[in-house]
């Protein structure tokens, strides 16, 4: 998973898969007056990472109820169910509905700039990045203080939606095995969500 989906796409996925959760907790964030995308994402992450204990418990109960009754076999819904079984007390299990979900085929590469929220779901890959000591954990992690740091950093106006670019392997002779453009409908489990806020990019 890598980068935020557009607010419209996030809204459509929640309405399709978790309509009661959307009506109760997200409608006020994703509908109504026009606000900057970065503000939408900051409000969404604040809800997921910094909700008060009572509100968080209410959200988790409703999420469990909906997941047990909702029909469908989309990749996003499968991942939410899977993550909820692994991290039942963590609302960041909803990430497949607000982050782009992609699958890298053998030989493909994905570029993600610094500051972009991402998570590896499954498989084996190699991550290349500049030396950095400022990685922030954004979910599926035990540290609440890191969640708060990450949520605060999301207030930056540089947080926007971006469909990651997938490219084929470039061989020594300069040829490219194959090339794919941007995509948001494929799947890459994982070690939790994170972003690098400094000059190092993955």
Look up 148 and say whether it is catalytic.
no
C-alpha distances (whole Å) from 45 to each of 53, 70, 96, 165, 199 are 15, 24, 13, 24, 23
DSSP-based three-state secondary structure for 135: strand
Name the active-site residue from 11, 137, 141, 194: 137
Task: Give the number of other Cβ atoms within 10 Å of residue 85's Cβ.
Answer: 10
User: In which element (H, E) is residue 3 found?
Assistant: none
Give dist(CA 167, CA 181) in Å, integer. Answer: 7
Active site amino acids: 137
């Amino acid at each position: 998973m890598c980068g935020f989906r557009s607010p419209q796409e996030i809204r459509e996925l929640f309405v399709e898969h978790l309509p009661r959760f959307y009506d109760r907790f997200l409608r006020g964030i994703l509908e109504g007056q026009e606000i900057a995308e970065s503000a939408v994402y900051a409000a969404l992450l604040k809800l997921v990472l910094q909700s008060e204990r009572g509100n968080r418990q209410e959200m988790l109960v409703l999420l469990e109820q909906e997941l047990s009754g909702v029909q469908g076999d989309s990749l996003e819904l499968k991942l939410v169910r899977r993550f909820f079984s692994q991290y039942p007390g963590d609302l960041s299990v909803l990430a497949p509905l607000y982050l782009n979900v992609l699958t890298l085929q053998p030989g493909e590469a994905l570029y993600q700039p610094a500051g972009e929220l991402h998570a590896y779901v499954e498989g084996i890959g190699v991550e290349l990045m500049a030396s950095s000591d400022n990685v922030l954990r954004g979910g599926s992690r035990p540290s609440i203080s890191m969640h708060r740091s990450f949520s605060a950093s999301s207030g930056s106006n540089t947080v926007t939606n971006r469909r990651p670019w997938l490219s084929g392997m470039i061989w020594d002779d300069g040829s490219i095995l194959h090339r794919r453009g941007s995509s948001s409908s494929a799947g890459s489990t994982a070690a939790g969500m994170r972003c690098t806020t400094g000059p190092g990019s993955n």
